[in-house]
């Protein structure tokens, strides 16, 4: 197996673990953790393709990964702010109990 295939498989595995976490956990914070894992798996793909791609000196994949990290940080801040506000409103972070849209 080539190194690139190994990295891609690890990224696929991380993405699936994150997806499973986001889909099966009840706590809203754990769902956000799963989403972070999925974003990181995408970053690993970008960096791996940059490393083994034809023109690493053009920095395209590297820049994509850096901007992706910045956007993920913004997403985490807003997502966790939303979770805190929902907890203040509904007194729970259990997603199974959040079955109403009306406050």
Partner 1 sequence: MSFVFYILATLTVAGALAAVLLKNTVHCALALTVAFAGLALLFLNLDAQFAGFAQILVYIGAVAILVVFAILLTKGSETPKDGVFSRTWLAGLAVAAAVFAVLGWAVIQTANLLPSSAPTPTVTVQQIGQALVGRYVLPLEIVAVLLTAAMIGAVIIAMHEKDGVK
Question: 59-98: which residues touch partner 1 (CB under 8 A)?
Answer: 59, 62-63, 65-67, 69-78, 80-85, 87-88, 93-96
In this structure, what are the phi and psi dihedrals at residue 53, rounded to the nearest 5 degrees?
A: -80, 175
Nearer residue to partner 1 within complex by CB, 74 or 101: 74
4 contacts: CB under 8 Å, gap ≥ 6: 48, 49, 51, 52
Contact (Cβ atoms closer than 8 angstroms) between residue 48 and residue 102: no
Site residues for partner 1, 21-40, by CB under 8 A, read 21-27, 29-30, 32-34, 36-37, 40
Q: Binders of partner 1: how many residues, by CB under 8 A?
A: 72
CA dist 66 and 15 (Å) reads 18
Nearer residue to partner 1 within complex by CB, 40 or 102: 40
């Amino acid at each position: 197996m080539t190194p690139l295939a190994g990295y891609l498989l690890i990224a696929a595995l991380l993405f699936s673990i994150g997806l499973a976490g986001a889909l099966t956990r009840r706590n809203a914070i754990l769902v956000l953790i799963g989403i972070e894992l999925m974003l990181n798996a995408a970053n690993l793909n970008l960096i791996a393709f940059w490393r083994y791609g034809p023109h690493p000196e053009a920095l395209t994949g590297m820049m994509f990964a850096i901007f992706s990290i910045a956007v993920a940080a913004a997403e985490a801040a807003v997502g966790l702010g939303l979770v805190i506000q929902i907890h203040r409103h509904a007194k729970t972070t259990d997603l199974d109990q959040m079955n109403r849209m009306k406050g």
